[in-house]
Chain A
Amino acid sequence: MNKNIRFEGITKYRDGEPVLQKLNLEIRSGEFFVLLGPSGCGKTTLLRILAGLESADAGRLFLGDADITHVPIHKRKIHTVFQQYALFPHMSVSENVAYSLRVRGIANNEIDDRVAHALRTVRLGAFGKKSVTQLSGGQQQRVALARALVCEPEVLLLDEPLAALDRELKEQMLMELVDLQQKLRTTFVYVTHDQFEALTVADTMGIMNRHGNIEQLGSAESIYEFPHSRFVADFVGRTNIFDGKLRVTREAYYIDVDDLGSFVLNVTPEITWLLSGMQLFLSIRPEKIDISLQKMEGFSNELMGRVISMIYYGRSTEYKVLLANGQSIMVFEQNEHHFPKKSIELGDDVYLYFQKENTVLLRH
């Protein structure tokens, strides 16, 4: 049965300012969808409209074929894992998990079975009788998950659920969430401003910009490798942007950057909007640039610069290189050998190389 979520022309104002404007979005049933955007961009508002905690000022919301725009919150089979978990402090773990079943008037013995099963699913089988205030952050997170999942909602919403956890626990919980989603096949809609979380869990990602528009929709890989705009390229991962003018010759496409030179571009047939002389941006990810003290052959583009900062991360090193036009760019190098033949030092003049296939052209 099709249970896709469909937002049609959703508009929401807050204090007279538009938060969301005529937003259209379809989330496929059974997938792990991540809505990624900067703080205050309206992604949480969209989630709250989906949950029923807020109503849109205009537009319609569908779950499958049913129009649920005006269905009150407690009648939606959409449950939320809240940012600070919002566990009921006067109830035990089991009572918290049982809540949604209890308010629906389900028989006690069935509640017990389902609660026990839900707690086992989140690996809290032995914690039922504990008070929720005695639990650690990660355990509270699991209780919130079990509580939202126990009555088998059609959609599970997660509002920055891991924001309060430290990095190690966060990574572990992300893996558990992916496993859980693959097992249950419930539609998960996960809202975050953390691109690391988004890239880790998403089947499909929607990138929301500061104006509350979905700027790009796609798989984690497609968004990282083929961003449609400067905003997406910058927000998901890190990148270097060159600002230049397009020059088309019989042999190839070039971008001319003032005071720096020109770069050869890789133009695929689907890019149809190119016009000679147009102003555009070239994005190249830091890990796709090679850095070297010696001149090398076989690269389509070459740059020269001076290392102005270095951060050693162990498995990789991040270099900041100042170019002739005063712009500095980032370069990541994997540290593949114990003893590199010759290591790059701060202040060294270096050559930078990248292939035209690894660049992305951006219109805005």
Chain B
Amino acid sequence: MRVVTTLQKIASQQLPFLLSLPAFLLQGYFLLIPLAFIVVISVTSDALGGQWLFTLSQYRDLCSSMHMKVIFNSAVLSCIAGGLSLLIGYPVAYYLAMRAGRMKHALLVFLILPSWTSFIIQVYSWFYLLQKHGLFSSFFYSIGLTSEPLSLLNNYGATVLGMVYCYLPFMVLPLYTVLEKMDKRLLEASADLGANAWQTFTHIVLPLSHSGIRVGLALVMVPAFGEFAIPDLMGGVKDLYVGHMIMEKFLVFRDWHSGAAVVMLSFMIPIVCVGLWYLMSKSVRYVQGEE
């Protein structure tokens, strides 16, 4: 009898852990173990006789100007995608959380709906919209804006458009969550104390939504850094990105060691950036803006 109750007690105490165990195991097996392999592969080289030797030469090679250019391209694209998603996503999230009223759930579903389809299908849809004789170019031609049907694909603008389109929900959702949970009485208090709408936004809403901005930027910029499908399909392989480099190293050159080093890099740079930013925003207290 006592054994049973003791077991029950242990079971009830450990239940959350037991329930989350499958997730831990999956993550461990499919993420952590492969990741460990990548780490090991990235710091070793094939020596004669099949022996793996420790080396940092792959990382040293990454410092070459060609590689740096690719990393720079990815970083710029990631920043543009993050910045634009924030600028476009913030008003959307604000409207949904503060003004949409009963419509907000329906509107939220519309926002997320495209991301329920495959990523590649979304990109291809844009492909058909933007190509020569596609919807947009035909429209521009028919209203006389262009003298002949032009392809709107294969340029940097198309890349940015595709990136922002695909990643926007990942910016809007965390912003929406934080704005929705915000105590609206604080906004009333701010107005009551004499602040106009803009002051209330900059002094109260913006600082209190920092966490949402941070999560949104991380969710957009980290995958955007490694993205290559969108620049490839919509930007027409004009610039090379980290994603290309990984594919090339593994599939073209069959050089797993330098490929793994690029993976590590594309993985570490955003993490380090987000981490640094998090520490900074934690230590620097919000300083009130001027009138």
**A95 interface residue, CB < 8 Å from B?**
yes
In the complex, the number of residue pairs spanning A and B with C-beta atoms less than 8 Å apart equals 68
The answer to whether B288 touches A102, judged by C-beta atoms less than 8 angstroms apart, is yes
In the bound complex, residues from chain B placing their C-beta under 8 Å from that of A80 are 189, 192
* Contact with B291, one of A78, A84, A95, A103 (Cβ below 8 angstroms): A103
B contact residues around A103 at 8 Å (CB):
190, 193-196, 199, 203, 291
Interface residues on A, range: 20 to 34
User: What 0/1 pattern do residues 179 to 216 of B give for CB contact below 8 A with A?
Assistant: 00001011011111111100100011001100000000
Number of interface residues of B (CB under 8 A): 20
Nearest Cβ distance between residue A51 and chain B, in whole angstroms?
Answer: 6
Contacting B186 at CB < 8 Å: which of A75, A86, A95, A148?
A86
In the complex the two chains form, is B193's CB within 8 Å of A90's CB?
no
Set of chain B residues within 8 Å of A104, measured between Cβ atoms? 194, 291
Chain A residues whose C-beta falls within 8 Å of the C-beta of B204 in the assembled complex: 88
A79-B188 contact in complex given A103-B199, A103-B203, A105-B291, C-beta closer than 8 Å: no
CA separation between A100 and B203, bound complex, in Å? 11
**Interface assignment of B286: CB less than 8 Å from any CB of chain A:** yes
Which residues on the B side are within 8 Å of A95 (C-beta)?
288
- In the complex, what's the smallest C-beta–C-beta distance from A356 to chain B, in angstroms? 50
Contact B185 A74 (CB under 8 A): no
Contact status B192-A53, CB under 8 Å: yes
Assess A100 versus B185: contact at CB under 8 Å? Given A89-B208, A95-B288.
no
Q: Do the beta carbons of A74 and B196 come within 8 Å of each other?
A: yes
* A351 CB–B CB distance under 8 Å: no
Q: Does B203 contact A99, Cβ atoms closer than 8 Å?
A: yes
Is A151's beta carbon under 8 Å from chain B? yes
> Are B193 and A148 neighbours in the complex by a CB distance under 8 Å?
yes
B186 touches A53 (CB 8 A): no
Query: Which residue in chain B gives the minimum CB-CB distance to A131?
Result: B285
A89 to B186, CA, bound (A): 9
Kindly list chain B residues whose C-beta atoms are within 8 Å of the C-beta of A51: 192
Question: With contacts A86-B189, A105-B291 known, is A99 near B195, CB below 8 A?
Answer: yes
A52 and B192 within 8 A (CB): yes
Q: Which B-chain residue is minimally distant from A95 (CB atoms)?
A: B288
Pairwise interchain contact B186-A74, C-beta atoms closer than 8 A: no
- Interface pair B186/A79, CB less than 8 Å apart: no
With A90-B286, A103-B199, A103-B203 as known contacts, state yes or no: A74 contacts B189, CB within 8 Å. Answer: no
For the complex, give the distance between the alpha carbons of A226 and B188 in Å: 39
Identify which of residues 308-330 in chain A touch chain B, using a CB-to-CB cut-off of 8 Å: none
Evaluate contact between A82 and B194: CB separation under 8 angstroms.
no
B residues in contact with A43, CB < 8 Å: none
Residues of A within 8 A of B185 (CB): 82, 84, 86
Q: A305 to nearest B CB, angstroms?
A: 50
Chain A positions within 8 Å of B291 at CB level: 102-105
Is A73 in the interface zone, CB < 8 Å from B?
A: yes
For the complex formed, measure the closest distance between the CB of B203 and the CB atoms of chain A, giving whole angstroms.
Answer: 7
Bound form: Cα–Cα A80–B207 in Å? 23
Nearest Cβ on chain A to B146's Cβ, whole angstroms: 47
Per the bound structure, the CA–CA distance linking A29 and B291 in Å amounts to 32
Across-interface contacts of B199 in A (CB, < 8 A) = 103
Asked whether any CB of chain B lies closer than 8 Å to the CB of A147, the reply is yes
Contacts of B286 in A (CB 8 A): 90-91
Query: Which residue of chain B has the shortest Cβ distance to A73 in the bound complex?
Result: B191
Q: Given A86-B185, A86-B186, A79–B208 Cβ distance below 8 Å?
A: no
A102 CA to B291 CA, complexed, in Å: 7
In whole angstroms, what is the CA distance A151 to B192 when docked? 12
Given A88-B186, A103-B291, CB of A73 within 8 Å of CB of B203: no
Distance A74 CA – B192 CA, assembled complex (angstroms): 6
Q: Complex: how many Å from CA A89 to CA B183?
A: 10
* Contact A82 B188, CB 8 Å, known A103-B203, A105-B291: yes
* Cβ–Cβ contact A147 & B288, under 8 A: no
Give the docked Cα–Cα distance between A78 and B183 (Å): 22
Near B by CB (< 8 A), chain A positions 19-72 give: 51-53
CB neighbours (8 Å) of A151 from chain B are 194
5 contacts between A and B (CB under 8 A): A74-B193, A86-B183, A89-B186, A99-B193, A105-B291
A residues engaging B (CB < 8 A)? 51-53, 73-75, 78-80, 82, 84, 86-91, 95, 99-100, 102-105, 147-148, 151
Q: Which 8 A-B pairs have the closest CB atoms?
A: A86-B189, A100-B193, A105-B291, A103-B195, A86-B185, A73-B191, A80-B192, A103-B199
